[in-house]
Amino acid sequence: MKLSAKTQLCCLIGHPVSHSLSPTMHNAAFEALGLDICYLAFDVPPASLSLAMEGLRALGAIGMSVTIPHKQSVRNFIDELDGDALLVGAVNCLAKRGPGWVGYNTDVRGFLVALEEVLETSISGMSAVVLGAGGAARAVAVSLGRAGASRVSVINRAGERAKLLVDGLQPHLEGTTFQAFAWDQAECGDALATADLLINATPLGMSAVAGSEAWTESLLTFQKLALTRLPAHTVFYDLIYAPERTPFMELALASGHSAHNGLGMLLHQGAESFRLWTRRDAPISIMRAAMASDGTS
């Protein structure tokens, strides 16, 4: 990629970001379409978010991806929110519009496209269990409801956060029944017993190395759930994509279930973000190939 004095900036902010494949796929896309834009990843701890946003605005960045832990707090620095971002209550994409920032949530569409790609069928009528109650989990729950899932059960270690999530979504997605449970709640087992889909929207297992303390702790936390009650056909989907085979996926495969990581979601939410930044369709095949050839994938 050739940089110039006119090169425009897009970036990722989060904490951590060293595992991210977003720079790989976006820079490949910009280069393929001959766009004078570069994409960088910035590790921004929560205490530095305000300073980072002020700096990126001053530098004239034209687009931004937002990941853990800033998807909700970044709303305080945005001039306008798109409809999905308002409904989800979280932002994962910012685009420059005039002098200000508009916040979007491309996770909603990105998750649905990625999931239906691996399922090779519609989600309509399915029962899903979502682990977590943060910004990513909210986007997944909205996506499932829009796609016609019959029931979405949200399980979170803090049960009150799960309840806040489902109470906020139920009036907007009346065709889907939403339920909330604490991680250690006995009734979780009933939701798991009828689950067609089990989705990990927590950070558990992110960047964990097999055999490490973090890996073991992730396995033990997931095993506190009544996973033995899952039907044989339940599909596991982990929003995490690094490592390529996550602790969550390891549990799935050990019990004979099919499992997928979040690389597809990263790709498709990124493609939607690319369109918002450039007003051009994303070269998805090039982005997919770039991620596949990256040694960290």
Percent helix, strand, coil in the chain, to 5, is: 45, 20, 35
Q: Measure the CA dihedral 109/132/251/197, to 10°.
A: -50
145 Cβ neighbours under 8 A, 6+ residues apart: 152, 169, 172, 173, 175, 176, 178
CB 11, CB 64: distance < 8 Å: yes
CB atoms within 10 A of CB 220: 10
- Side-by-side strand order, sheet with 197-200: 177-182, 151-156, 127-131, 197-200, 235-238, 258-260
**Of these residues, 71, 96, 163, 224, which one is catalytic?**
71
Helix 263-278 and helix 22-32, axial crossing angle in degrees, nearest 10 = 40
Active site residue 6: no
219 Cβ neighbours under 8 A, 6+ residues apart: 247, 250, 251
CB 128, CB 197: distance < 8 Å: yes
187 Cβ neighbours under 8 A, 6+ residues apart: 181
Closest to 153 measured CA to CA, from 109, 190, 106: 190
Residues labelled as active-site residues: 71
